[in-house]
Amino acid sequence: MCNEVIQVDVIIPTQTKYLDLIGSIGEHIAKDLDDFSGDREALAYHLNLVLTEATTNAIKHTTQITPKDTVRITIHIQDNELNIKVYDHGQGFDLETVPLPDFDHPKESGMGLYFIRTLMDSVSYTKQTDCNILEIIKKL
Protein backbone atom coordinates (compact mmCIF):
# COMPACT_ATOMS: atom_id res chain seq x y z
CA MET A 1 0.00 0.00 0.00
CA CYS A 2 1.12 3.49 -0.72
CA ASN A 3 -1.05 6.28 0.60
CA GLU A 4 1.12 9.32 -0.02
CA VAL A 5 0.20 12.04 -2.47
CA ILE A 6 3.12 13.38 -4.47
CA GLN A 7 2.98 15.84 -7.36
CA VAL A 8 6.09 16.85 -9.32
CA ASP A 9 5.96 19.17 -12.30
CA VAL A 10 9.20 19.87 -14.18
CA ILE A 11 9.95 21.82 -17.33
CA ILE A 12 13.35 21.36 -18.97
CA PRO A 13 15.00 22.62 -22.14
CA THR A 14 15.10 20.04 -24.93
CA GLN A 15 18.64 18.99 -24.05
CA THR A 16 19.77 15.49 -23.15
CA LYS A 17 21.98 16.76 -20.32
CA TYR A 18 18.81 17.01 -18.23
CA LEU A 19 18.00 13.30 -18.56
CA ASP A 20 20.03 12.53 -15.44
CA LEU A 21 17.99 15.07 -13.45
CA ILE A 22 14.66 13.67 -14.63
CA GLY A 23 15.69 10.04 -14.09
CA SER A 24 17.05 10.87 -10.64
CA ILE A 25 13.75 12.40 -9.58
CA GLY A 26 12.01 9.12 -10.35
CA GLU A 27 14.69 7.15 -8.57
CA HIS A 28 14.45 9.29 -5.44
CA ILE A 29 10.66 9.10 -5.36
CA ALA A 30 10.83 5.29 -5.48
CA LYS A 31 13.41 5.14 -2.72
CA ASP A 32 11.49 7.51 -0.45
CA LEU A 33 7.97 6.12 -0.90
CA ASP A 34 6.34 5.15 2.38
CA ASP A 35 4.59 1.81 2.71
CA PHE A 36 5.84 0.38 -0.58
CA SER A 37 6.18 -3.36 -0.14
CA GLY A 38 7.65 -4.29 -3.54
CA ASP A 39 11.26 -4.34 -4.73
CA ARG A 40 12.23 -0.74 -4.07
CA GLU A 41 15.59 -0.90 -5.88
CA ALA A 42 13.97 -2.36 -8.98
CA LEU A 43 11.21 0.28 -8.92
CA ALA A 44 13.87 3.01 -8.57
CA TYR A 45 15.76 1.75 -11.62
CA HIS A 46 12.59 1.28 -13.63
CA LEU A 47 11.29 4.79 -12.92
CA ASN A 48 14.70 6.24 -13.75
CA LEU A 49 14.68 4.27 -17.02
CA VAL A 50 11.09 5.02 -18.02
CA LEU A 51 11.45 8.74 -17.32
CA THR A 52 14.75 8.80 -19.21
CA GLU A 53 13.31 6.99 -22.23
CA ALA A 54 10.10 9.02 -22.33
CA THR A 55 11.97 12.32 -22.01
CA THR A 56 14.50 11.27 -24.67
CA ASN A 57 11.62 10.55 -27.06
CA ALA A 58 10.03 13.91 -26.33
CA ILE A 59 13.34 15.74 -26.86
CA LYS A 60 13.92 13.93 -30.16
CA HIS A 61 10.42 14.70 -31.41
CA THR A 62 10.53 18.30 -30.34
CA THR A 63 14.01 19.25 -31.51
CA GLN A 64 13.07 18.36 -35.04
CA ILE A 65 10.81 21.40 -35.05
CA THR A 66 11.98 24.10 -32.66
CA PRO A 67 15.34 23.61 -30.94
CA LYS A 68 14.55 26.15 -28.21
CA ASP A 69 11.44 24.32 -27.11
CA THR A 70 10.89 22.72 -23.71
CA VAL A 71 9.64 19.38 -22.42
CA ARG A 72 7.25 19.19 -19.50
CA ILE A 73 7.17 16.14 -17.27
CA THR A 74 4.67 15.56 -14.48
CA ILE A 75 4.73 12.78 -11.91
CA HIS A 76 1.67 12.22 -9.76
CA ILE A 77 1.24 9.58 -7.10
CA GLN A 78 -2.09 9.03 -5.42
CA ASP A 79 -4.14 6.04 -4.30
CA ASN A 80 -1.38 3.52 -5.06
CA GLU A 81 -1.04 4.69 -8.62
CA LEU A 82 1.90 6.45 -10.19
CA ASN A 83 1.08 8.57 -13.22
CA ILE A 84 3.73 10.08 -15.48
CA LYS A 85 2.90 12.51 -18.27
CA VAL A 86 5.46 13.75 -20.76
CA TYR A 87 4.38 16.61 -23.02
CA ASP A 88 6.07 17.22 -26.36
CA HIS A 89 5.41 19.69 -29.14
CA GLY A 90 6.51 17.57 -32.06
CA GLN A 91 4.47 16.02 -34.85
CA GLY A 92 3.61 13.04 -32.71
CA PHE A 93 3.46 9.37 -33.61
CA ASP A 94 1.08 6.45 -33.49
CA LEU A 95 1.95 4.34 -30.46
CA GLU A 96 0.04 1.36 -31.83
CA THR A 97 2.27 1.12 -34.89
CA VAL A 98 5.52 0.94 -32.91
CA PRO A 99 6.60 -2.70 -33.24
CA LEU A 100 8.14 -4.94 -30.62
CA PRO A 101 11.91 -5.32 -30.97
CA ASP A 102 13.02 -8.30 -33.08
CA PHE A 103 14.99 -10.19 -30.43
CA ASP A 104 16.49 -12.57 -32.99
CA HIS A 105 17.81 -9.70 -35.09
CA PRO A 106 18.39 -6.91 -32.55
CA LYS A 107 18.67 -3.35 -33.76
CA GLU A 108 20.45 -0.44 -32.17
CA SER A 109 17.29 1.59 -31.69
CA GLY A 110 13.63 1.03 -30.92
CA MET A 111 13.97 -0.44 -27.43
CA GLY A 112 12.87 2.62 -25.45
CA LEU A 113 9.12 2.21 -25.84
CA TYR A 114 9.52 -1.52 -25.29
CA PHE A 115 11.04 -0.77 -21.87
CA ILE A 116 8.20 1.59 -21.00
CA ARG A 117 5.53 -0.88 -22.08
CA THR A 118 7.18 -3.83 -20.37
CA LEU A 119 7.97 -2.21 -17.04
CA MET A 120 4.82 -0.13 -16.56
CA ASP A 121 1.14 -1.10 -16.47
CA SER A 122 -0.27 1.10 -19.21
CA VAL A 123 0.96 3.55 -21.83
CA SER A 124 -0.99 5.90 -24.07
CA TYR A 125 -0.10 8.69 -26.45
CA THR A 126 -2.62 11.37 -27.31
CA LYS A 127 -2.32 14.22 -29.78
CA GLN A 128 -3.88 17.46 -28.67
CA THR A 129 -4.09 20.78 -30.44
CA ASP A 130 -1.08 22.38 -28.76
CA CYS A 131 0.95 19.34 -27.63
CA ASN A 132 1.18 15.56 -27.44
CA ILE A 133 1.03 13.64 -24.15
CA LEU A 134 2.68 10.33 -23.40
CA GLU A 135 0.89 9.00 -20.32
CA ILE A 136 2.35 6.15 -18.32
CA ILE A 137 0.67 4.45 -15.36
CA LYS A 138 2.17 2.10 -12.81
CA LYS A 139 0.23 0.47 -9.99
CA LEU A 140 2.23 0.56 -6.77
Partner 1 sequence: MKLNLEKIKGFSVIFIQEERIDAHNSGELKEYILHMIEQGEVKIIVQLESVRFIDSSGLGALLSGYKHASAKSGKLALACCKPQVFSMFELTRLNRVFDIYTDLSEAFENEA
Q: Which residues bind partner 1 (CB under 8 A)?
A: 16-17, 19-20, 23, 41-42, 45, 48-49, 52-53, 56, 59, 101, 103, 106-112, 114-115, 118
Nearer to partner 1, 72 or 117 (CB): 117
Shortest Å, Cβ 119 to partner 1: 8
- Long-range CB contacts (within 8 A, 24+) of 17-20: 18/55, 19/52, 19/55, 19/56
Nearer to partner 1, 4 or 69 (CB): 69
CA distances from residue 37 to 24, 41, 51, 136, 140 in whole angstroms, order as listed: 21, 11, 22, 21, 9
Nearer to partner 1, 52 or 132 (CB): 52
Shortest Å, Cβ 3 to partner 1: 27
3-state secondary structure of 119: helix
The residue among 115, 95, 120 whose CA lies nearest residue 53 is: 115
Nearer to partner 1, 57 or 132 (CB): 57
How far is 9 from 83, CA to CA, in rounded Å? 12
Shortest Å, Cβ 46 to partner 1: 9
